[in-house]
Amino acid sequence: MKENRKQFWQALKFTLFSISAGVIQIGSFALLEIFIKDYWIPYLISLVLSILWNFTLNRRYTFKSAVNVPVAMAKVVGFYLVFTPLSTYLGNLAEGAGINDFIILIVTMLSNFVLEFLFCKFVVYRGKEDTLSK
């Protein structure tokens, strides 16, 4: 039962931090879209900003991990080396099909949220959770 409670709080924290990262991503995307009309440039810049924010908060507060930060970040970069080109390509296809940029962004962010949680939980911080001293 205690493990279930821990998992629940972990998922809740990840969700809340992801929402804050989403606000950063949507805000920076909206601002950049004013000046840059191609979808992919504002998307990539806003994605990088949200990744840095999310990684920092989740390592410290969600997974409470003292894992080697450069190694953990390298794993997250590996995730995004697959996710980013795929989501950028599919986003461009969707934009070309006439789908609103913000609809594309929201669907992409939801996919990112689920996949990144699973990747962090089972790859980045596997066996290294709750190792951060207070």
What's the pLDDT tens digit per position in 14-24?
999 999 998 99
Q: What b/e sequence results for 69-97 when a residue is b if at least 16 CB atoms lie within 10 Å of its CB, and e otherwise?
A: eeebbebbeebbeebbeebbeebeebbee
d(CA 104, CA 95): 8
Residue 46's pLDDT is 93
pLDDT tens track for 39-67: 889 988 998 999 999 999 999 999 999 88
For residue 134, what pLDDT band results from cuts at 50, 70 and 90? Answer: low
Instruction: Output the pTM of the full model.
Output: 0.79
Rounded average pLDDT over 113-128: 93
Q: What is the mean pLDDT of residues 85-104?
A: 92
Neighbouring residues of 39: CB distance < 8 A, sequence distance ≥ 6: 91, 92, 95, 101, 104
